[in-house]
């Protein structure tokens, strides 16, 4: 199949382009499109053969359910058999936006979409192109992130083409996405409701409106994967082996410095994904004769600029992979606000390789510091 890429204005999408894409979706074809979070790979959610194409194109296991995109809150009743008051409250406050609600499904939603689960994940995206598409198509659109399975999510049309060229009919290119990290998933099929995946909408924003929503500790570990299929630890993995460093700034910088020296001495090429302040502290090492030409750095905004870090996270991982590094060292932005989602994706990409360093407490973490249980220092 030949993949067509069509440019579309992110603010004022051309109705003719949207109509063509909507028609392709209604006809059972695959269309990749920008949302405010990441690019999605869309198919007619009620057409099982179209949905199967998503799994084939992505090489995604059938055990990983898809998010169904709708135009507005009024469409929930088409897909879900119940809409608890607190879920409705969140939808009214945060849709259209980066929030996905898990609700009991209606029989009209194919089992393939929900991986056999009795619940469906619903989201009304805010991006003008995505909105115009669901409105014009007049059907719910199943759309996972438009990456090959286990690759970082795409935040540009070029990322989608890199992963899915020849596997998707049409890619709508609306430029880089705004948030850069996937939607927040809240599961209302259980009581109390559970935040299954931190994302573009912060836990604090959700909690302030619906305090019942709980954040499960150990977010993203293997036992969590059993509860929410698809939340596998190595879900967002770059090709290079990634290690996540967390702790206080001086502890982290010192520890990365030590590990860079060791890696370079072993003949490895190293990529560093860190805020500008950390990179500045590491600059003399990176420029040193031993490390010269063997270390790629990718700035990640300033320490306080988590919006930018979220926006650039996946492109940073893809760039470092493309530059051919063997290992990636990334620093954790913390757990507040949007940082929780960034840290979650980095922890998954790290697949358990998390090193905690606090200056003054020694650089090797004691088991007591390893509270969240993502795995220990290798
Ligand atoms: O921002 C986003 O949510 C993007 C854009 C395209 O909307 N989509 C996205 O989809 O991130 P995806 O497929 O990469 O992630 C969907 C995840 C699944 O892996 C699974 O963890 C969860 O949503 N999910 C979907 N349906 C579910 C269900 N019925 N029960 C539990 N979890 C579900
Ligand atoms: Mg995905």
CA of 357 to the centre of ligand 1 (A): 33
What is the side-by-side order of every strand in the sheet holding 241-247? 295-299, 270-274, 327-331, 241-247, 354-357
Average pLDDT for 205-210:
98
For residue 369, the model assigns a pLDDT of 39
> How many whole angstroms from its chain centre is CA 333?
16
Q: How large is the average pLDDT for residues 136-147?
A: 98
Instruction: Spell out which residues line ligand 1, taking CB within 6 angstroms.
Output: 35, 37-38, 40, 64-67, 98, 100, 102, 114, 117, 119-121, 123, 125, 143-145, 182-183, 185, 196, 228, 230-231
Task: Say if CB 96 and CB 90 are below 8 A apart.
Answer: no
Instruction: At 185, list the tokens.
Output: 């998933």
**Ligand in closest contact with the CA of 155:** 1
Average pLDDT over every residue of 18-45:
98
How many Å lie between the centroid of ligand 1 and the Cα of residue 121? 7
Ligand 1 atom 18: the closest Cα is on which residue? 230
Residue 237 confidence (pLDDT) = 72
Give 228-240 as a DSSP string. Answer: STT--GGGG--SS
Task: Determine the Cα angle at 271 with ends 268 and 274, to 5°.
Answer: 145
pTM flag (> 0.85): yes
The pLDDT of 304-317, averaged and rounded, is 94
Residues in the chain: 378
Confidence at 300, pLDDT banded by 50, 70, 90: confident
299 in helix, strand or coil? strand
Taking the CA of residue 187 as reference, the ligand 1 atom at the shortest distance is 31
Helix (H) or strand (E) holding 146: none
Question: Which position has the token pair 């994940």?
Answer: 121
Say how many Å lie between the CA of residue 294 and the centre of ligand 1: 37
Q: What is the CA radius of gyration of the chain?
A: 21
Task: Tell me the C-alpha distance between 268 and 79, whole Å.
Answer: 50
Handedness of CA 124, 224, 149, 317 (dihedral sign): positive
The reported pLDDT for the residue numbered 54 is 98
Beta strands in the chain (DSSP E): 4-7, 31-34, 39-44, 67-69, 99-104, 119-123, 141-142, 170-173, 184-187, 194-197, 214-215, 241-247, 270-274, 295-299, 327-331, 354-357
- Which of 63, 116, 144, 311 has most ligand 1 atoms within 8 Å of its beta carbon, as the pocket-test mutant? 144
Q: How many CB atoms lie within 10 A of CB 225?
A: 14
Give yes or no for residue 368 having a pLDDT over 70: no
Question: Rounded to the nearest whole angstrom, what is the distance from the C-alpha of residue 365 to the centroid of ligand 2?
Answer: 31
Q: Per-residue pLDDT averaged across 195-205, rounded?
A: 97
Buried-exposed string 122-145: b where 16+ CB fall within 10 A, e elsewhere: bbbbbbbbbbbbbebbebbbbbbb
| Among 88, 332, 300, CA closest to 209 | 88
What is the average pLDDT across 156-170? 98
What is the 153 CA–ligand 2 centroid distance (Å)?
6
352: pLDDT strictly greater than 90 = no
Q: Which two tokens stand for residue 250?
A: 């001086």
pLDDT band at 102 (very low <50, low <70, confident <90, very high): very high
- Which ligand 1 atom sits nearest the alpha carbon of residue 147? 14
For residue 223, pLDDT beyond 50: no
The bound ligand whose nearest atom lies closest to the alpha carbon of 199 is 1
- Percentage of the chain modeled with pLDDT above 90: 80
Ligand nearest to the CA of 100: 1
| Mean pLDDT lowest among 42-56, 61-75, 163-177, 344-358 | 344-358
Q: Single out the residue of 265, 263, 245, 264 nearest to residue 255, CA to CA.
A: 245
- In Å, how far are 34, 42, 83, 123, 146 from 51, measured between CA atoms? 18, 8, 24, 17, 13
Residue 362 has pLDDT above 80, yes or no: no
């Amino acid at each position: 199949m030949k993949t067509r890429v069509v440019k579309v204005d992110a603010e004022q999408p051309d109705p003719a382009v949207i109509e063509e894409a909507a028609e392709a979706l209604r006809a059972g074809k695959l269309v990749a499109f920008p949302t405010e979070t990441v690019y999605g790979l869309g198919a007619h959610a009620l057409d099982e053969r179209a949905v199967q194409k998503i799994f084939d194109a992505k090489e995604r296991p059938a055990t990983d359910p898809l998010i169904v995109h709708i135009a507005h809150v009024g469409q929930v009743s088409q897909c879900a058999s119940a809409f608890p008051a607190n879920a409705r409250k969140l939808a009214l406050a945060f849709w259209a936006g980066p929030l996905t609600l898990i609700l009991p499904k209606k029989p009209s939603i194919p089992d393939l979409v929900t991986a056999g689960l009795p619940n469906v994940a619903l989201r009304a995206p805010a991006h003008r192109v995505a909105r115009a598409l669901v409105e014009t198509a007049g059907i719910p659109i199943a759309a996972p992130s438009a990456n090959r399975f286990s690759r970082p999510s795409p935040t540009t049309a070029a990322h989608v083409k890199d992963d899915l060229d020849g596997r998707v009919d049409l890619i709508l290119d609306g430029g880089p996405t705004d948030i850069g990290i996937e939607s927040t998933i809240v599961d209302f099929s259980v009581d109390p409701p559970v935040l299954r995946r931190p994302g573009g909408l912060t836990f604090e924003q959700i909690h302030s409106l619906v305090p019942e929503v709980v954040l499960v500790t150990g977010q993203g570990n293997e036992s969590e994967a059993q509860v929410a299929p698809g939340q596998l630890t190595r879900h967002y993995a770059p090709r290079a082996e990634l290690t996540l460093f967390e702790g206080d700034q001086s502890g982290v910088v010192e520890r990365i410095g030590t590990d860079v020296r060791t890696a370079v001495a072993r003949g490895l090429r190293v990529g560093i994904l860190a805020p500008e302040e950390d990179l500045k502290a590491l600059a003399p090492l990176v420029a040193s004769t031993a490390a010269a030409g063997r270390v790629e750095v990718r700035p990640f905004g300033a320490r306080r600029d988590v919006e930018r870090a979220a926006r650039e996270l996946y492109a940073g991982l893809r760039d470092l992979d493309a530059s051919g590094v063997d290992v990636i060292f990334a620093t954790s932005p913390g757990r507040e606000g949007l940082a929780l989602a960034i840290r979650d994706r980095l922890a998954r990409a790290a697949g358990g390789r998390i090193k905690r360093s606090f200056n003054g407490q020694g650089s090797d973490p004691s088991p007591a510091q390893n509270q969240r249980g993502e795995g220990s220092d290798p």
